[in-house]
Amino acid sequence: MDEAHIKKILVLVEGAKTDVLLMNKIISSYPILDDYRIVSYCTNIYALYQEMMMAGQEDLEATDILLVLKSREKREENRKLFDEKYTDILLVFDLDPQDSRYNLDSR
C-alpha cells in the first residue's frame, strides 16, 4: 500500500485494560497496514456526551472531539496524541443502559 493511502486511526475505548487488550487482539487479527493508536477514555460514552454538551458542542457533526478529549486528559502522553491529525476516529463503548444518563431519545 502506498504511503499516501495509509490512514492514521485513533481508537477510543472505554476501559483501561480489557478494552485495550481486546482492540489490540481484533486489530492484530487482520492485516492492517494503517497507523493506529488505541487510547482508553476510562469512563463511559455518557460522560463523553455530557462533556461535549457542557463544552457547548451541541452540533455533534461539527464537534472537535480531539479538543474535548484533550481538555479532560491528565496524562501528558495522551494529550500529545490528541494534538495529532487522524483520518478516522473510532469510539468503542458499551451501551451501559443502567447508567442514569442513558436516554433512548438522545441524539
pLDDT tens for residues 1-57? 566 678 999 999 999 999 999 999 998 888 777 899 999 988 888 888 888 887 766
Rg (the chain; Cα; Å): 15
Task: Supply the pLDDT for residue 24.
Answer: 92
106: pLDDT strictly greater than 80: no
Domain count, the chain: 1
Q: How far is the C-alpha of 14 from the C-alpha of 20, rounded, in Å?
A: 9
In-domain check, residue 13: yes
Q: Give the model confidence (pLDDT) of 87-98 as tens digits.
A: 999 999 988 888
The maximal CA–CA distance of the chain, rounded, in angstroms, is: 47
Strand-pair partners of 8: 35
Q: Select the more confidently predicted residue: 101 or 8.
A: 8
In-domain check, residue 24: yes
Q: How many CA atoms lie within 13 A of 82 on its CB side?
A: 20
Outline where 1-107 has alpha helix (H). Answer: 18-28, 45-54, 65-72, 76-81
pTM of the model: 0.80
In-domain check, residue 104: no
75: pLDDT strictly greater than 90: no
Strand-pair partners of 39: 12
Question: Closest Cα partner for 42 from 24, 64, 19, 21?
Answer: 19
Look up the domain containing 13 and give its range.
Answer: 3-92
In-domain check, residue 106: no
Question: Closest Cα partner for 6 from 36, 37, 38, 33?
Answer: 33
